């Protein structure tokens, strides 16, 4: 009856909270958060913590700080053009509020690009299909869209359900869990950890924002070139590589 990818049998698969800042790049942040977590889940390596470039996805996919972007376009771009890592194209639009060129990328970007195998639509906007969304969430997080009302921006905790305030516009976020007993979706926002419940919001199943009515999930096949050191553990490190036998 409940699920939370921040605590799956005591393991957190979700990366640190981010802040889109002064740019309408929420779609890129929602998509990247879903892909990063899905990769950690698929790899079975919660410590992997991949960090993909929201800046490159947004700039090269056709997003604009003033105009925003569409989730379907982001999902298609990740499948067809891929994501580079954050270090290859750091996020700067949040502080400047300005768009950057798609060419603002590291010289070896082609060799540092990760592709999703594809994406799927547990719900397609033609009406809420909560059971399909919950079933999909058991495999990983989902990008979704919602309408933002004024009282959402003032949210500080508890289960959110729109009560008052004007409609401010559209927004994209990432669903990372749900709770049937208390009837809410667990949602990761991209407004930093000072907002809401350390960047998260519990949104009522009955909220009128349209949360979860349109969702996108990513099909991820992890790379095989990961090495996990199980011994020595914790703060003990190997310093002389000549002692390691192939």
Q: Which residues are catalytic?
A: 26, 171, 189
**What phi and psi, each to the nearest 5 degrees, are found at residue 135?**
-60, -45
d(CA 168, CA 140): 29
Neighbours of 47 (CB within 10 A): 10
Give the H or E element holding residue 185.
Answer: strand 184-188
**Cα angle value 115/117/122 (rounded, 5°):** 120
Instruction: Give the single-character DSSP code of 160.
Output: E
Q: For residue 57, give both structure tokens.
A: 């996805």
CB 123, CB 133: distance < 8 Å:
yes
- Crossing angle between the packed helical segments 26-43 and 71-80, to the nearest 10 degrees: 50
Nearest Cα to Cα of residue 174 among 198, 205, 141, 147: 141
CB 132, CB 175: distance < 8 Å:
no
| Measured distance between the N- and C-terminal CA atoms of the chain, rounded to whole angstroms | 46
CB 83, CB 114: distance < 8 Å:
yes
d(CA 37, CA 8): 12
């Amino acid at each position: 009856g409940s699920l939370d990818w921040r605590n799956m049998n005591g393991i957190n698969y979700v990366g640190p909270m981010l802040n889109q800042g002064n740019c309408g790049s929420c779609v890129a942040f929602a998509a990247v958060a879903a892909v990063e977590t899905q990769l950690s889940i698929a790899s079975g390596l919660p410590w992997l913590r991949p960090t993909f470039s929201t800046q490159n996805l947004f700039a090269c996919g056709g997003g604009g700080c003033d105009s925003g972007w569409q989730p379907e376009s982001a999902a298609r771009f990740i499948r067809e053009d891929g994501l580079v890592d954050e270090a290859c194209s750091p996020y700067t639009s949040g502080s400047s509020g300005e768009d950057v060129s798609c060419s603002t990328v590291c010289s070896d970007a082609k060799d540092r690009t990760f592709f999703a195998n594809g994406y799927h639509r547990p719900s397609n906007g033609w009406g809420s299909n909560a059971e399909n969304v919950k079933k999909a969430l058991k495999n990983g997080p989902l990008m979704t869209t919602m309408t933002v009302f004024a009282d959402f921006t003032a949210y500080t905790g508890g289960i959110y359900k729109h009560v008052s305030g004007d409609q401010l516009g559209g927004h994209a976020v990432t669903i990372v869990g749900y709770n049937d007993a208390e009837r809410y979706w667990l949602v990761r926002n991209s407004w930093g950890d000072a907002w809401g419940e350390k960047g998260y919001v519990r949104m009522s199943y009955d909220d009128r924002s349209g949360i979860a009515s349109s969702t996108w999930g990513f099909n991820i096949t992890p790379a095989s070139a990961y090495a996990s050191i199980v011994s020595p553990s914790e703060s003990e490190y190997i310093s002389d590589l000549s002692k390691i036998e192939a």
